[in-house]
């Protein structure tokens, strides 16, 4: 399998190159040159398979030239090392819980897979590498945890001081050795700007191998195909609707590729918060990004989602409006849905999952079918919202331990020279 750039279809890079570079130099996004097909009868006995076997079948064609079977198996074993339970919300509607990993969000899957692949590739290259990540919350925790387990790769995480939740901050600042947290006296955009400047600094790049663990790296989005197969292990091969709470649209794009491989999807439904550029595109037929607005589902606060480029690369525009239905919801409506679902069905949605659930219900007004909502984060990550709904303690044991740990961060002004000095330390 080779990878081209959405801006240049004649470019051909290996999986290894696409992963290590992160982004093509032409500012497009890497895409697989073709979509492998699962056999027609793959789903006939899916209930006899487990997630590790499925992950191997799904991912192998994308990486076979760069990872040996036993390497891939080992990476899969460590990536899909936690549960992905399917829980009933109400008749016919289920939550696929993707948040039982180390940072309590689905991003653990992509971040772990990427970290383990990069570890293999840098081992062969006998080089060291520094990963730079700017985070507004959820990404940093998944990346920190994933890379804390690998060798020869340093990670520097920049986060805006005072603007992430307690638990999120502890997920960034309690590792030692190769994971360092920079607490920037600014906002998320300042963090992102410092990282961008580093990538453009040829002097720095001569002295240091830098790379990114951004969600647009193919190594992060490919493994996200795998959990879409989980409900079929439970329910068999009949087609399902999938509702996906979306921000940068990486999760949904992974689902679209899984469907092209043969996953029996009846309908994809995208749920957005007030950052509703994709639902508006699906409704009006033109793409009109707006500045990002802050919401209670803050991991989806993306005004101009990067993976839109991949979505229109996969489908012609007329088709995409059939392929995906999209709906957007305000914070007020989201909070109300969290309350109602908790009261009536005793299921606690997090603000992101709630947006997915609302989108599903909107779609089901005119349609039907057994449906799955991707529950992307544990509600305890958003206690400032969730505490309006439940009073009891919902922290898993691991999160409680983490909150007790001591934070280790380096405070920094928004100052590129200071940042560069730190990196070259
Ligand atoms: C990142 C994130 C999303 C959005 O996923 P995309 O792939 O960017 O669309 C949704 N929910 C949670 C909890 C997240 O952390």
**Tens of pLDDT, residues 215-229:** 789 999 999 999 999
DSSP state letters, 34-78: S-----TTTTTTGGG--HHHHHHHHHHHHHTTTS-HHHHHHHHHH
Phi and psi of 295, rounded to 5°?
A: -140, 175
What integer pLDDT is reported at residue 215 of this predicted model? 78
Whole-number Å distance, alpha carbon 138 to ligand 1 midpoint, is 8
Task: Give 376 Cα–ligand 1 centroid separation in angstroms.
Answer: 7
Regarding pTM above 0.85, the answer is: yes
Residues near ligand 1 (Cβ within 6 A): 105, 107, 138, 215, 245-251, 299-300, 352, 376-377
pLDDT tens figures, 141-173: 999 999 999 988 999 999 999 888 888 999 999
Cα–ligand 1 centroid distance for 234 (angstroms): 24
Nearest ligand 1 atom to the CA of 352 is 11
Mean pLDDT of 323-333: 98
What is the CA(299)–ligand 1 centre distance, in A?
A: 5
User: Residue 264's pLDDT is what?
Assistant: 98
Residue 397 tokens read as 């044991």
* Greatest mean pLDDT range, 135-139, 209-213, 261-265, 296-300: 261-265
* Minimum CA distance residue for ligand 1 atom 1: 299
Nearest CA to ligand 1 atom 2: 299
Q: Does the pLDDT value for residue 411 go beyond 90?
A: yes
DSSP secondary structure string, 225-271? GGGGGHHHHHH-SS-EEEEEE-SSSHHHHHHHHHHHHT--EEEEEEE
Distance 345 CA to ligand 1 centre (A): 24
Per-residue pLDDT, 360? 98
Q: What is the distance between the alpha carbons of residues 306 and 147, in angstroms, rounded to a whole number?
A: 23
Checking if the pLDDT of 128 tops 90, the result is no
Judged against a pLDDT cut of 80, whether residue 137 lies above it is answered with no
Which atom of ligand 1 lies closest to the CA of 247? Answer: 9
Model confidence at 126: pLDDT above 80: no
For residue 146, the model assigns a pLDDT of 96
The chain-wide mean pLDDT, for the chain, equals 94
Q: How far is the CA of 300 from the centre of ligand 1 (A)?
A: 6
318 pLDDT tier (thresholds 50, 70, 90): confident
Q: Which residues pair with 63 in a beta bridge?
A: none
Mutate to test the pocket of ligand 1, among 97, 138, 271, 279 (most ligand atoms within 8 A of CB): 138
Question: What is the maximum alpha-carbon separation in the chain?
Answer: 60
- For residue 124, pLDDT over 90 is answered with no
* Contact between 347 and 339 (Cβ < 8 Å): no
Indicate which atom in ligand 1 lies nearest the CA of residue 246: 9
Give the atom of ligand 1 at the shortest distance from the alpha carbon of 107.
15
pLDDT value at residue 184: 96
For residue 211, pLDDT beyond 90: no
- What integer pLDDT is reported at residue 192 of this predicted model? 85
CA of 243 to the centre of ligand 1 (A): 13
Q: What percent of the chain has pLDDT over 90?
A: 81
Atom in ligand 1 nearest the alpha carbon of residue 254: 7
Q: What is the pLDDT of residue 193?
A: 87
For the stretch 381-401, pLDDT in tens is 999 899 999 988 999 999 999
Q: How confident is residue 417, by pLDDT bands cut at 50, 70 and 90?
A: very high
Helices (H), 91-137: 107-125
Q: Report the 3 state secondary structure along 268-281.
A: EEEEECCCCHHHHH
- pLDDT, tens only, 34-86: 999 999 899 999 999 999 999 999 999 999 999 999 999 999 999 999 999 99
SS3 249: coil
Residue keyed to tokens 């990346």:
143
The pLDDT of residue 199 is above 90? no
Residue 253 CA, closest ligand 1 atom number: 7
CB 312 within 8 A of CB 320: yes
What pLDDT is stored for residue 138 in this prediction? 83
Distance 39 CA to ligand 1 centre (A): 30
Of all protein residues, the one whose alpha carbon is nearest to atom 14 of ligand 1 is 299
The pLDDT, as a whole number, for residue 136 is 79
Q: How far is CA 345 from CA 91, 174, 349, in A?
A: 10, 36, 11
Q: Ligand 1, residue 138: give the atom nearest the CA.
A: 15
Do the beta carbons of residue 305 and residue 247 sit within 8 Å? Answer: yes
Q: Above 80 in pLDDT, residue 125?
A: no
Say if CB 97 and CB 37 are below 8 A apart. Answer: no
Domains in the chain, ordered, with CATH?
A: 87-103+221-386 (3.40.50.1100)
Atom of ligand 1 nearest to the CA of 248: 8
User: Rounded to the nearest whole angstrom, what is the distance from the C-alpha of residue 246 to the centroid of ligand 1?
Assistant: 6
Q: How far is the CA of 383 from the centre of ligand 1 (A)?
A: 17
The pLDDT tens digits of the residues spanning 273-310 come to: 999 999 999 999 999 999 889 999 999 998 889 899 99
């Amino acid at each position: 399998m080779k990878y081209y750039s959405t801006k240049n279809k004649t470019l051909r890079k290996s999986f290894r190159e696409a992963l290590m570079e992160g982004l093509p130099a032409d500012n497009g996004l890497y895409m697989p040159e073709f979509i492998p097909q699962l056999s027609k009868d793959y789903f006939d006995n899916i209930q006899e398979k487990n997630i590790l076997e499925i992950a191997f079948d799904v991912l192998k064609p994308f990486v076979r030239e760069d990872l040996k079977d036993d390497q891939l198996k080992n990476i899969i074993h460590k990536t899909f090392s936690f549960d992905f339970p399917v829980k009933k919300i109400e008749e016919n509607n289920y939550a696929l819980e993707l948040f039982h990993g180390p940072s309590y969000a689905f991003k653990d899957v992509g971040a772990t897979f990427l970290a383990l692949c990069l570890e293999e590739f840098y081992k062969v290259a006998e080089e060291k590498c520094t990963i730079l990540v700017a985070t507004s919350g959820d990404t940093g925790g998944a990346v920190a945890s994933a890379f804390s387990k690998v060798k020869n790769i340093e990670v520097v995480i920049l986060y805006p001081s005072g603007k992430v939740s307690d638990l999120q901050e502890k997920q960034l600042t309690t590792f030692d050795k190769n994971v360092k947290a920079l607490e920037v006296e600014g906002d998320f955009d300042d963090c992102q700007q410092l990282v961008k400047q580093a990538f453009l600094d040829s002097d720095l790049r001569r002295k240091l191998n830098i790379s990114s663990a951004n969600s647009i790296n193919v190594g992060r989005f490919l493994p996200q195909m795998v959990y879409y197969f989980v409900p079929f292990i439970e329910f068999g091969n009949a087609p399902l609707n999938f509702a996906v709470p979306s921000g940068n649209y990486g999760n949904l794009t992974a689902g679209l590729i899984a469907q092209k491989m043969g996953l029996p999807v009846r309908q994809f439904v995208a749920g957005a918060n007030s950052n509703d550029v994709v639902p508006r595109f699906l409704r009006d037929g033109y793409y009109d990004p707006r500045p990002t607005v802050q919401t209670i589902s803050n991991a989806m606060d993306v005004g101009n989602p990067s993976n839109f480029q991949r979505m229109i690369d996969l489908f012609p525009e007329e088709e995409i409006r059939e392929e995906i239905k999209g709906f957007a919801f305000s914070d007020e409506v989201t909070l109300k849905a969290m309350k109602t679902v908790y009261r009536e069905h005793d299921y606690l949605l997090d603000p992101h999952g709630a947006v997915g659930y609302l989108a599903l219900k909107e779609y089901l007004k005119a349609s039907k079918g057994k449906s799955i909502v991707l529950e992307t984060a544990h509600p305890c990550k958003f206690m400032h919202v969730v505490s309006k709904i439940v009073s009891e303690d919902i922290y898993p044991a691991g999160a409680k331990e983490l909150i007790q740990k001591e934070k280790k961060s380096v405070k920094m002004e928004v100052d590129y020279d200071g940042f560069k000095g730190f990196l070259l330390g």
